[in-house]
Amino acid sequence: MSARPEEFRLGAVIITMGNRPEELNALIDSVRAQEGPAVELAVVGNGAPLPALPEGVRSVELPENLGIPGGRNVGIELFGPDGRDVDAVLFLDDDGLLPNTDSARLLREAFTADPHLGIVSFRIADPVSGTTQRRHVPRVRVGDPMRSSRVTTFLGGASAVRTAVFPGAGQLPAEFFYAHEETDLAWRAIDAGWSIDYRSDIVLYHPATSPARHAAYFHNVARNRVWLARRNLPALFVPLYLGTWFLLTVARRPSADGLKAWLGGFRAGLRGPCGPRRPMRWSTVWRLTRLGRPPVI
């Protein structure tokens, strides 16, 4: 583990469907413009051919779309087993942009100042309005998006994970494909003794969008919510957590089609295999509660 910020090695993982070549290259340019030692770059074509990339970028084209967590896991491995060629990996959405050149320096300083810091979640801001959507602040009580704090989850396409997290906590759950994969890793990282920070001063520009734009959104959100509970929570908390989210979803009154897809996903989560079960310790339940997010919501 490096003691000096300038010795802390950063790599960036970007997955793409190959349909945003201009945005992708703008993002790469913003990574290369960072102050200090160069950030290594790895780009994964997730079931799609890659556009032309600058020299020196590690890359791979996958024959099929492995989903967001599966694609990012492949990107991690481009930096060696569990990403060991670098000390932390940034996960960046291919239509995002780092508007400030000090982001890498702030990350190096944060990770070297706190050896227990495992994950940093960035603030996502719309490039036109500068606003941060409520869902992009990983706190139950969102409050001021400009306030940094310790949190219990992170934003997958605007984050950095210390690679020392992976050997003990594992990588992202590839079977999730999309939705809640960050919380699954976050809970396992916290259970392993790591901390997660939301940093409002480390910014990723990203167009304001709705997650419901993804065709499988409602199904995957429900299925993966069930898998998240089954994989990670003590048995007592599984029905409490899922019951809370069932009631919250109904109270939010989604469209008839959305609710039908959500219920189908909920059933699939209960019936299908969810991967290895590793319930968190009761001390982790208490730690999540003290951080404002008890694992019933």
Q: Can you give the pTM of this predicted structure?
A: 0.95
CA distances, 271 to each of 23, 187, 265 (Å): 40, 23, 10
What does the pLDDT read at residue 1? Answer: 47
- The CATH T-level fold of domain 5-209 is Spore Coat Polysaccharide Biosynthesis Protein SpsA; Chain A (3.90.550)
Q: Domain spans of the chain?
A: 5-209, 212-290
pLDDT digits (tens, 9 = 90+) for 178-201: 999 999 999 999 999 999 999 999
What does the pLDDT read at residue 2? Answer: 52
Report mean pLDDT in 10-residue bins for the chain, 297 residues: 84 96 97 98 97 95 97 98 98 97 98 98 95 93 95 97 98 97 98 98 90 73 97 97 94 90 95 95 97 92
pLDDT digits (tens, 9 = 90+) for 207-239: 987 665 555 889 999 999 999 999 999 999 999
What does the pLDDT read at residue 163? Answer: 98
What does the pLDDT read at residue 253? Answer: 87
CA atoms of 168 and 188, how far apart (whole Å): 8
What does the pLDDT read at residue 209? Answer: 74
What does the pLDDT read at residue 213? Answer: 52
